Structure 1
Amino acid sequence: MAEMFSMLGTWNWLVLGLLLMGLELLAPGVFLFWLGLAALLVGLLSFALSLSWQLQILMFALFAVAAVPLWRRVARRNSGASQSNPFLNKRSDALVGRVFTLEKPIVDGAGTVRIDDTIWRVAGPDAPAGSRVRIVRADGASLTVAAD
């Protein structure tokens, strides 16, 4: 085992780093990326400095452990992006309070309204086609409306 570790060289670390990053593409989870980055750093430092295999493994372990808080900081910073758009992936919630024109009349409590390129089912009091309605509640792909 020690003989195998003593054979570790710069190219081994670079290949390992690229392999781990490539595996990240196949099984995304952001974990293998940081291990691959740690291996690439050890490989690049091995180019510049003549390091023993013990030091290379120690550096890899330190870089891999240091990557965890770095990843958490990056993830925390990026989570603020979803707060800037609170309706991301909640398109129907973004429609509440807006006024639209009925495409098909509401008969027996059901009708449709066209919003951009999508036809939405609406529920509410009976109204003829062309009436203006305000969306008061969103429930999945169904909208509840009231006369405007």
Structure 2
Amino acid sequence: MLQTLAANLGPWSWWIIGIVLLAAELVAPGVFLIWIGAAAIVIGVLSLLLWDAAFWPWQLQFVLFAVLAGAFALAGRRFYGRHETSDQPYLNRRGESLVGRTATLHEPIREGRGRIRLDDTWWPVMGPDLPAGTRVTVVSADGRDLKVEAAA
């Protein structure tokens, strides 16, 4: 079947496969099919140049395609896989951004649970039993719960 496809379409079969893969990347983005599509396009270019050469059978084309697809995927992962550090490391981790802040207990901590107000938000807190009005320092964040201790 693959040999028949390659014989009927000639070197354009690789172009068609490459364009279909690139279009599939647009429909289902994931930055993975783009590298396989690019490999197919490269094989298509080589096929246009070498189609009648005796050393360019369809088996070699498929092996070279597989090697190029793997190499392009690894190179793409290395290039796009870099994680740059943000200038706002706590942007989507608001609880963690409050560590080190001090506040006054609005509700006393009883049986390890209480509430404080920081900025415009009420936060549930965990810590040792303390009366309302006590100054506390946030020592850690666990999801929405803040762990506090009496401020020094």
Q: TM-score, normalised by structure 1?
A: 0.64
Change (3 A) 1:110 1:75: same
The 8 Å contact of residues 87 and 94 in structure 1, kept in 2 or not, is answered as yes
Match of 1:95 among 82, 93, 98: 98
Q: Deviation string for 1:89-109 (max 9, x for gaps)? A: 65433432222454x322424
Change (3 A) 1:20 1:88: farther
Change (3 A) 1:14 1:140: same
How many residues align? The count is 141
Gaps in structure 1 of 5+ consecutive residues: none
Gaps in structure 2 of 5+ consecutive residues: 52-56
Change (3 A) 1:123 1:58: closer
* 1:34 Cα offset (Å): 1.7
* 1:35 Cα offset (Å): 0.8
In the alignment, what sits opposite 1:9? 11
In the alignment, what sits opposite 1:105? 107
In the alignment, what sits opposite 2:132? 128
2:68 and 2:43 map into 1 onto residues whose CA distance is 8
In the alignment, what sits opposite 1:50? 49
Change (3 A) 1:34 1:146: same
Q: Deviation string for 1:42-97 (max 9, x for gaps)? A: 34x259x4332636545423321322431342255x13x25877657654334322
The 8 Å contact of residues 106 and 127 in structure 1, kept in 2 or not, is answered as yes
Change (3 A) 1:90 1:64: same
Secondary structure of 1:137's aligned partner: strand
1:42 and 1:64 map into 2 onto residues whose CA distance is 10
Q: Is it true that 1:138 corresponds to 2:141 in the alignment?
A: yes
Q: TM-score, normalised by structure 2?
A: 0.63
Name the structure with the higher helix share. 1
Query: Bigger CA drift: 110-119 or 34-43?
Result: 110-119
